[in-house]
Structure 1
């Protein structure tokens, strides 16, 4: 069986698990996938890690194209994702519909979990800085190096978790309250591209075309992404 190696940002982990197996059933090509935050993947690629296909944020993919690591003409935008807030299942959902309500909810939380390396964490750190509440939030925050922030809700370490909605939805035992007000955020766009030194370029191209096709839209939506 032919195998292709794919490095993907965590935001697409849920969707990619089911899409990879559907692709394998249809084509007989096995997808060997590894998931990590975009910043961690960029470092690994710059350190020379080999892959056939990568899925990164659009900015990350553009950097890789600029460095000649990803084939420029191969780039395809797959999905967009918004940052959301989650609570442990069964907990009351705070009001986060407006900027004022969200600030109040964040300040009232015993601890807010957010990620250090993920795009959502970088965005959230900037947002609380702009609002002048960074010192208060960070005094009790649960900062996750990498991985799913919502796991800290299940463990009881945090009351609120902040991450891409598609990443929050990976964790059992939590509930997504909703997105941070959309006027406060620019969605992350996740894009795929073929590595210039891909060992299995033809098979990887087939996977890329499949992931960019309309038939995968319901799976993307189900996992909290917008096509």
Structure 2
């Protein structure tokens, strides 16, 4: 028996840590697909096969209200902060305040971000640049990718000094070759709550409920924290 997981990229590291034990314990295989939340939401709305869905808590709340996911199955995974990264071994820039972040972004040789239209972090980065009044100044140095994982992987290969990336903490932590500098300063912070839920049309609802429990229950708390989630 196989389950299909459609998930925001923020949960890819968590899934990698949870799924092998889950599969062995339940005699199941899980096919996971991960991307920006907007892209995953669109796949779900387009009717792609899905048993368990991971999106922002607000997105799943709306889908539950519409009867598209089982309301009783919706469970919080945890909160994720949007943060700054640099290639491993590069000196960490100062992002401790709004002024420091502004200077760091203006000095950056390249700024790697996820999709500025479909990803939680990418949309937020663009709003931060506008709030700092530097969107036009740095637009030629913005390097956008379909999701945070891809942005961080390419960042890890950047040799030039001054290259930085901004995406969700979990995506930074599961990407080899990049170093977490720290979250965006309080003036510009973004904390996103992610949840998991069972598709109302799942082929095997009991097994899908078990997967949600494995991703969100007490036994996964340490794995969630390790992968970068702040567990409520």
Same fold (TM > 0.5)? yes
Which sections of structure 2, spanning at least 5 residues, go unmatched? none
Work out which of the residue numbers 147, 154, 157 in structure 2 matches 1:155: 157
Q: TM-score, normalized by length of structure 1?
A: 0.94
Moved over 6 A (4+): none
* Comparing 153-162 and 166-175, the one that deviates more: 153-162
1:30-179, aligned counterparts within 5 Å? 30-116=29-115, 117-148=118-149, 149-156=151-158, 159-179=163-183
Shift of 1:157: 7.5
1:145, 1:153 → 2: CA distance? 14
What is the SS of the residue equivalent to 2:109? coil
- TM-score, normalised with respect to structure 2: 0.92
* Corresponding residue number in structure 2 for 1:222: 226
Specify whether residues 183 and 77 from structure 1 end up closer, same or farther in structure 2 by C-alpha distance, changes over 3 A only.
farther
Q: Which consecutive unaligned segments of at least 5 residues does structure 1 have?
A: none
* Count, aligned residues: 226
Deviations 1:132-158 (A, max 9, x none): 111112121111133522122223277
Report if aligned partners of 1:152, 1:161 keep a CA contact under 8 Å in 2: no
In structure 1, C-alpha distance between the alignment counterparts of 2:50 and 2:154, rounded to whole Å: 31
Q: Distance in 1 between matches of 2:50 and 2:155?
A: 34
Q: Is the 8 A contact 1:142 1:157 kept in 2?
A: no
Q: 1 CA distance for matches of 2:197 and 2:186?
A: 28
Deviations 1:197-221 (CA, angstroms, capped at 9, x unpaired) = 0001000011112222111111111
Change (3 A) 1:157 1:188: farther
Residue by residue, what CA displacement relative to the aligned partner does 1:31-59 show, whole Å, maximum 9, x if unpaired? 22111111001111111112111010112
Q: Does structure 2 retain, via aligned residues, the 8 Å contact 1:113–1:162? A: yes
User: Does the CA contact (< 8 Å) of 2:184 and 2:190 recur in 1?
Assistant: no
Q: Give the Cα–Cα distance (whole angstroms) in 2 for the partners of residues 27 and 160 of structure 1.
A: 41
CA-based RMSD: 1.5
Supply the distance in 1 between the matched residues of 2:128 and 2:77 (Cα, whole angstroms): 26
2:203 is matched with 199
CA displacement 1:70-119 (0-9 Å, x = unmatched): 11222111111001111111111111111111111111101111112210
> Contact 1:93–1:177 at 8 Å: present in 2 too?
yes
2:35, 2:146 within 8 Å by CA — same for their partners in 1? no
Which of residues 181, 188, 196 in structure 2 aligns to 1:184? 188
Mapped partners of 2:73, 2:176: distance in 1: 35
